[in-house]
Structure 1
Amino acid sequence: MISQNDTDIFSSRRAGVLLHPTCIKGPEGVLGGHARAFVDFLAEAGITVWQTLPLGPTHSDLSPYQSLSAHAGNADLIDVAELEAMGLLQASELDTGLESHGREALLARAITRFLQGDAPQFDADFEAFRQENRYWLDTYAEFIAIRRKYPGTTWQQWPVGLRDRERAEMDALSREASDMIRRVQFEQFLFLTQWRAIKRYAHDRGVLLFGDIPIFVAHDSADVWANRRCFKLDNEGNPQVVAGVPPDYFSDEGQHWGNPLYDWDYIAADGYQWWLQRLESQRHLFDLIRIDHFRGLSAYWEIPADRPQPRNGYWVPGPGAAFLDACFAKFPDLPLVAENLGIIGPEVEELRHRFRLPGMTVLQFGFDGSPDNPHLLGNHKQRDLVYTGTHDNDTTLGWYQSLDDRSRDYVNQYFDTDGRDMPWPLIKAAFRSVSSIALVPMQDFLGLGSSARFNTPGTTENNWLWKLDLADCTPDLSLKIREMLQISNRTF
């Protein structure tokens, strides 16, 4: 079944911001007053799309693209100040608790209060949440309970009975760790409750939420532990092959991501249920969803686990149109965007166009000297999205400062600038693009350099650390952005 994937989101010219919620400072958490203040700033500026990155709980490297779960929310985002209005904390506890005990202790206290029966007003809603999300919630809560019992280990290192989810061992876990399992489940209930409140708040102010689904999942995750048949693993749960990419713009050596690869034959025979459930949970969180590394649906780079250098990899056909047919048969109005960056052949674009999926252009990629470069302003398409840079790029100012003299002169001539006003020439160009949605990382709106970069691909340290000070979201900045959006016809 071919879906036209028509959506009103692309019927108007819009501007968006790229900012992961973990970047917002807030000792009590994010999904409360701090997130509302950011949405207010966006509304004042005329920005109508907030693009986040994946919202899942992370490993120690903080990467949202290597999450402990493809479904769960990051509990670090829960705002404990919001729990007072819910009757789970008292004002006096918040006044002294943040300094003396910290946010995590307050969250634990609130959950204990619920488990002890002191907040029966949530019993029905919590039970409905558990039933609605049983397809992932139970195994995720079990996964976290075992991780806390065996800290510093991955699931392949657990006792065999737990590693292999043997019935007797799992039944024993359910009895011994019932309190912890219920804690994790209620934590996820609080996350979803607060995220839904932010989504309603954003919608009331004309702001849409734009999410992100990494095509691959982390090996050390509840998803792989509980669904081993969906992945190419050996009998002990170790990957036989892993994901990555050959040399490209981001890395001369290629990249070894290490994610286990799917057994697409098994997934197809099962009617793509695992993937459809993944889309189901995300479509409730967001108005628009990007599939990261879309080209992996056409073909993906498979690296043997015993020869991990990326150059030892090879292309393997992906699930292609059959998978997308199943997605749109289940969800006819699925609002997908394809991340089509990197090494993209005609077969990838053919698949994307067949399902009328918007793609991406990035202005920083436009200056290789080729007039046919799709990232150049004059080559943009109406149904695509344009970015100054993505979460994997340097900030635009950092990128500009790193250019050699010849490239910098080319950029200056193209944008008619001497460079002193960077990154605003690229922001203005993105707004002028014919593309329906123009997206700008928050660091670019603030004119920040490389020290504010989100992520450097191919590295695992010193990423995802930059924080936004909401005091920098000033009325002057929102006015400057709004005036630019009015000129480029991107306000409502």
Structure 2
Amino acid sequence: MKDRSSGILLHITSLPGKYGIGDFGKCAYEFVDFLKESHQKYWQILPMGVTGYGDSPYQSFSAFAGNPYFIDLDSLVKMNLLTEADLKPLIDLNLISNIQYDKLYIERYKVLKKAFTNFKENSSLNILTNFKNKNIWWLDNYALYMAIKNKFNGKSWLEWPKNYKFRDKETLRKARIELQEEIEYHIFLQYLFDKQWKDLKQYANENNIKIIGDIPIFIATDSADTWENPKMFYFDKKLQPKKVAGCPPDAFSADGQLWGNVLYNWKNIENDNFKWWIKRVKSCFKLYDTVRIDHFRGFESFWAIPAKAKTARFGKWEKGPGMKLFYAIKKSLGDLDIIAEDLGFLTSKVHKLLKDSGYPGMKILEFAFDSREESDYLPHKYPKKSVAYTGTHDNQTVVGWYKTVNDKDKKFCDEYLDDFLKNINSKTETINWKFIEALWSSNSNLVIAPMQDFLGLDDSSRMNTPSTLGGNWIWRFDSNLLNKELSKKISSITTQYKR
């Protein structure tokens, strides 16, 4: 990330796949081609974990497993595991452009189960055995967890019968026998995910496109990881959460944000020499070229909320592992290409942690135009060692922001951008392209904009509104929007500013 470069933020789900959601199929390869034609060097995506309630990629059933929604179904037809007729119910989901997760869950897993049945009848299970043996350190527990979860109709492991919840050895031994087929099914899904993602990533890399992945700081309370390693988290003797994650009240939310993830017991993790975290980071760098660490400030100190609290107001700051964790990661894995998501309430200690880590932080242009104060997010202030964005998956689109921002801030934005762009002889007119050009011309070594901002879309295409349920993570774009005209425009601005 030392050279000037640029990229596009677009999650896999947002690709225009044929079967109700973006996937690793033809649509993904075509997007790589679009990135290449547009002279982009990076494709940034969101976490690719198995999603549950709320469909958030930041609440996954596993820190290591991949989302079966992304499996390319056309390839399963070519493998004679499915027929075109099997996929008809999923094609019908495309009649509505946004993702319909409730219907997708039913229809896609039904189809994947049929593919597994056909695979068992016609293929050697040695393929799965070899894959399992290579990944046994996480896959064995994950497949068992998912099989038991299915046995208890999707209930959280915190609600399972005591002998399952507390991992009684004899109970789990019997479960492995009783649920063998279901366990093999989940191994099969992970095998397909792993193979198809590696093929896609290789194609991107061969076309000089690097992948930026995202590692959530916290783990879902209901996950294979918390079930297997409860001592790493703040659970009580009854295996109920004692403290959960969130962020304190601020100008955007009087009650703060109550995320609900059970918090890490960093003392116990440190006593184990951070082994689990090192494994997690190592596995991420097998998937991605660069990794963005979410909520970086939480490693300095985090907002701890009593599990029974109704809002985040009742939390308090507690110390994180700080540089001890990052020293351990570096000692084990060497220097890594990491981006620190250093947004939110930052103290001098957080700034010091970022500096000591050596990771570049993030700059968000939408945050720059608060007319009440001078901002570090103004483009003329960006240091080279930073990654600058128009906005992230959690922000409004640029067009949406501009429509709703107050008059004072809009006036500040207009005056600043007009002066800034005048200095570089820009004739850009629309607000989304003004934002993009301001970034692309800045000092930051890496600049990225969400696909929505290249397309000039409003907030109906917003990816996520934090602390809200429903309507999030559902946006997809039409494949017709990836046209030569747009590619040429992105390419031109990228070449102009030597990215």
* Residue 471 of structure 1, CA deviation: 1.5
Amino acid at match of 1:13: R
What are structure 2's unaligned runs of at least 5 residues? 91-106, 422-426
Q: Which residues of 2 match residues 234-383 of structure 1 at below 5 A?
A: 234-248=236-250, 250-369=252-371, 372-383=374-385
* Residue 156 of structure 1, CA deviation: 1.1
* Residue 103 of structure 1, CA deviation: 4.5
Whole-Å Cα distance in 2 between the matches of residues 215 and 143 of structure 1? 22
Contact 2:293 2:340 in 1 (8 A): yes
Q: Could you tell me which residue of structure 2 aligns to residue 53 of structure 1?
A: 46
Q: Could you tell me which residue of structure 1 aligns to residue 126 of structure 2?
A: 123
Say if 1:401 and 1:316 are closer, same or farther in 2 by CA, change over 3 A: same
Q: Which residues of 2 match residues 153-232 of structure 1 at below 5 A?
A: 153-232=155-234
Whole-Å Cα distance in 2 between the matches of residues 123 and 221 of structure 1? 28
Amino acid at match of 2:136: R
Q: Could you tell me which residue of structure 1 aligns to residue 3 of structure 2?
A: 12
TM-score normalized by structure 1? 0.93
Which range moves more in the overlay, 186-195 or 26-35?
A: 26-35
Q: Could you tell me which residue of structure 2 aligns to residue 74 of structure 1?
A: 67
Q: Tell me how many residue pairs correspond in the alignment.
A: 474
Q: Secondary structure at the match of 2:410?
A: helix
What are structure 1's unaligned runs of at least 5 residues? 1-9
Whole-Å Cα distance in 1 between the matches of residues 89 and 292 of structure 2? 41
Aligned-residue Cα RMSD (Å) equals 1.8
Q: Could you tell me which residue of structure 1 aligns to residue 495 of structure 2?
A: 486
Contact 2:47 2:213 in 1 (8 A): yes
Q: Which residues of 2 match residues 76-95 of structure 1 at below 5 A?
A: 76-85=69-78, 87-89=79-81, 93-94=83-84
Contact 1:264 1:319 in 2 (8 A): yes
- Determine if the alignment matches structure 1 residue 109 to structure 2 residue 114: yes
Deviation readout 1:416-451 (Å, 9 max, x if unpaired): 199961211001111111111101001001100011
TM-score normalized by structure 2? 0.92
* Residue 372 of structure 1, CA deviation: 4.5
Say if 1:249 and 1:286 are closer, same or farther in 2 by CA, change over 3 A: farther
Contact 2:60 2:220 in 1 (8 A): yes
Contact 1:88 1:119 in 2 (8 A): no
Contact 1:272 1:326 in 2 (8 A): yes
Amino acid at match of 2:445: S
* Residue 110 of structure 1, CA deviation: 2.3
Whole-Å Cα distance in 2 between the matches of residues 318 and 341 of structure 1? 16
Q: Could you tell me which residue of structure 2 aligns to residue 409 of structure 1?
A: 411
Contact 1:80 1:103 in 2 (8 A): no
Whole-Å Cα distance in 1 between the matches of residues 475 and 408 of structure 2? 31
Whole-Å Cα distance in 2 between the matches of residues 422 and 470 of structure 1? 23
Q: Which runs of 4+ in 1 moved over 3 A?
A: 100-106, 369-372, 417-420
Identity fraction in percent: 39
Whole-Å Cα distance in 2 between the matches of residues 420 and 428 of structure 1? 11
Q: Could you tell me which residue of structure 1 aligns to residue 99 of structure 2?
A: none
Contact 1:27 1:98 in 2 (8 A): no
Whole-Å Cα distance in 1 between the matches of residues 480 and 109 of structure 2? 25
Contact 1:83 1:89 in 2 (8 A): yes
Amino acid at match of 1:20: H
Contact 2:81 2:116 in 1 (8 A): no
Whole-Å Cα distance in 2 between the matches of residues 419 and 337 of structure 1? 30
Q: Secondary structure at the match of 2:193?
A: helix
Q: Could you tell me which residue of structure 2 aligns to residue 138 of structure 1?
A: 140
